[in-house]
Structure 1
């Protein structure tokens, strides 16, 4: 799936459920929640959870969880960007330019 197609799909999906009605402060809160879930998935993948009250998952399940949580983070970023009239392509282009300039002499 291309970035622009993914953005369009996310926007339509979120709009259909009324999730785009939340303002940017609430959206950032959702983003932070999803970032925490991604952190938990990374930990499980890298060092395990070591919790007797949780079922041990397979490596494939852990990787799938990582992928899904990354998608949740990207989805929230995409909706937040859309609120400000910015595309993910614009975001990535600006990010690339910033880092290229910052480290051009390194």
Structure 2
């Protein structure tokens, strides 16, 4: 599945669950929550935690958690793309053009 197909799949999944109609500020709240969870996963992978309630897991399990949280962040971004009728390709093109212009690369 490519990213546009995944976007369509996520949108349909959220629509079927009744989650798609949530307001932008609620969606932004979910995105912020997912970024926080990504931050925790990266901190765990990079530095570990010394907390008595945490069980010890393998580095692969920690990395898998980073993948999970990155996917959650991506899905929230894709939902915003759909909401504002922005193609993923437009996002990629904009990012590349902005960075190339900012740093004068080609």
TM-score range, shorter chain: over 0.9
Residue 90 of structure 1: how far off its partner (Å) = 1.1
May I ask how many residue pairs the two structures share in their alignment?
Answer: 105
Give the match's secondary structure for 1:50. Answer: coil
Partner of 2:71: 71
> Superposed, which structure 2 residues align to 1:9-88 within 5 Å?
9-88=9-88
Partner deviation per Cα, 1:29-59 (whole Å, 9 max, x = no partner): 1000000000000001101121111111111
Q: Which runs of 5+ in 2 are unaligned?
A: none
Q: Which runs of 5+ in 1 are unaligned?
A: none
Poorly superposed stretches of 4+, deviation over 6 Å = none
Instruction: Give the alignment's TM-score, normalised by structure 1.
Output: 0.94
Instruction: Give the alignment's TM-score, normalised by structure 2.
Output: 0.94
CA distance in 1, matches of 2:56, 2:26: 33
